[in-house]
Copies of this chain bind each other. A is one copy, B any other.
Amino acid sequence: MVLIDTAASMIFADCSSSSSTARLLLFNTTKLQKYPDNISLFRRSNSLQFGISSRSSSRTIITHCSSPSTSAIQINNETFAKVIDGKRVAKDIREEIAVEISRMQEEIGIVPGLAVILVGDRKDSATYVRNKKKACDTVGINSYEVHLAEDSTEEEVLNHISKFNDDPSVHGILVQLPLPSHMNEQNILNAVCIEKDVDGFHPLNIGRLAMRGREPLFVPCTPKGCIELLHRYDIPIKGKRAVVIGRSNIVGMPAALLLQREDATVSIVHSRTKNPEEITSQADIIISAVGQPNMVRGSWVKPGAVLIDVGINPVEDPESPRGYRLVGDICYEEASKVASAITPVPGGVGPMTIAMLLSNTLLSAKRINNLRMPAENIV
| Chain A interface residues (CB < 8 Å from chain B) | 186, 202-214, 238-239, 247-249, 253, 257, 260, 263, 265-270, 272-274, 278-279, 282, 376
Q: A203-B204, A212-B253 are in contact. List 7 more A-B contacts (CB 8 A).
A: A203-B211, A206-B211, A207-B209, A238-B272, A265-B270, A266-B268, A267-B267
Q: Can you give 26 A-B contacts (C-beta < 8 A)?
A: A186-B376, A202-B207, A203-B204, A203-B211, A203-B214, A205-B207, A206-B206, A206-B207, A206-B211, A207-B207, A207-B208, A207-B210, A210-B257, A211-B249, A212-B247, A213-B249, A239-B273, A239-B274, A263-B272, A265-B267, A265-B269, A265-B270, A265-B272, A265-B273, A265-B274, A266-B267
In the complex, the chain B residue whose C-beta lies closest to that of A187 is B375
Shortest distance in angstroms between A15's beta carbon and chain B's nearest beta carbon?
26
CB contacts (< 8 Å) of A202 on chain B: these are: 207
* A279 to B248 Cα, complex, angstroms: 24
**Among the interface residues A212, A260, A265, which one has the most CB atoms of the partner chain B within 10 A?**
A265
* A213 to B267 Cα, complex, angstroms: 21
CB contacts (< 8 Å) of A239 on chain B: these are: 272-274
Number of this chain's copies in the complex: 2
**Among the interface residues A202, A211, A239, which one has the most CB atoms of the partner chain B within 10 A?**
A211
**Among the interface residues A203, A204, A268, which one has the most CB atoms of the partner chain B within 10 A?**
A203
In the complex, the chain B residue whose C-beta lies closest to that of A267 is B267
Shortest distance in angstroms between A58's beta carbon and chain B's nearest beta carbon?
12
A253 touches B376 (CB 8 A): no
* A209 to B206 Cα, complex, angstroms: 9
* A376 to B257 Cα, complex, angstroms: 24
CB contacts (< 8 Å) of A376 on chain B: these are: 186
CB contacts (< 8 Å) of A212 on chain B: these are: 247-249, 253
CB contacts (< 8 Å) of A265 on chain B: these are: 267-270, 272-274, 279
CB contacts (< 8 Å) of A272 on chain B: these are: 238-239, 263, 265
CB contacts (< 8 Å) of A238 on chain B: these are: 272
**Among the interface residues A186, A204, A282, which one has the most CB atoms of the partner chain B within 10 A?**
A204
CB contacts (< 8 Å) of A203 on chain B: these are: 204, 207-208, 210-211, 214
In the complex, the chain B residue whose C-beta lies closest to that of A266 is B268
CB contacts (< 8 Å) of A257 on chain B: these are: 210
CB-contact partner of A268 in B204, B253, B260, B279, under 8 A: B260
**Among the interface residues A202, A207, A257, A274, which one has the most CB atoms of the partner chain B within 10 A?**
A207
In the complex, the chain B residue whose C-beta lies closest to that of A205 is B207
* A18 to B190 Cα, complex, angstroms: 26
Q: A204-B204, A207-B208, A211-B206 are in contact. Are A260 and B247 (CB under 8 A)?
A: yes
